[in-house]
Amino acid sequence: MDYRAIFEISAAGMGVEKKRLEVATLNLANMNSTAPAGTEGYRPLRVIAHAIKTDFGSIMDAQLSGVAQAAQTLEVVPSEVAPRMIKDPGHPYADAQGFVSYPGVDQGTEMITAMTALRAYEANVAAVGMARAMATRALDIGGSR
């Protein structure tokens, strides 16, 4: 069994979850930022992971050459969420009607995203630990003969 593949898969998963956690915390940090009326303020971001489609030949070439192949690409894109409009006529960035535009960040959604990303990251760490333990045990069994 090729344990390198297990480590690479878990490492890719940890990379995705790390990026999701970073983006969720960035959204939470900018949740109450404002911009002058008439300008675009902060837009919440989302992480999109795309699987790379490969054919059998490219997989075999990668295996024979020993070069790891990326299984996915990550993309961070602004979401198309309407800003929150809060009535605050005394705010320096209020528009003519007295509304201030805040980013359309939903705190509950961002907290859930952060928690699920953290749990998925932990699951990948546990998978790496188990693969390491299996590899070590296999070496112990092989060395005892």
pLDDT, residue 129, reads: 93
H or E element at residue 100: strand 99-102
In degrees, rounded to 5, the angle at the alpha carbon of residue 77 between the alpha carbons of residues 34 and 35 is 10
Q: What is the pLDDT of residue 67?
A: 56
Domain spans in the chain, listed from the N-terminal domain onward: 3-31+45-78+105-139
How many CA atoms does the CB half-sphere of 125 hold within 13 Å? 8
What's the pTM value of the predicted model, to 2 decimals? 0.79
Q: For residue 101, count other CB atoms closer than 10 A to its CB.
A: 22
**Residue 9 pLDDT:** 85
Asked whether the beta carbons of 66 and 126 are under 8 A apart, the reply is no
- Per DSSP, the three-state class of 83 is coil
pLDDT tens string, the chain, 145 residues long: the values are 577 788 888 888 999 999 999 999 999 999 999 988 888 889 999 999 887 776 767 666 766 665 555 567 889 999 999 999 999 999 999 999 999 999 999 999 999 999 999 999 999 999 999 989 988 888 888 776 6
Nearest to 12 by CA among 116, 134, 114, 127: 127
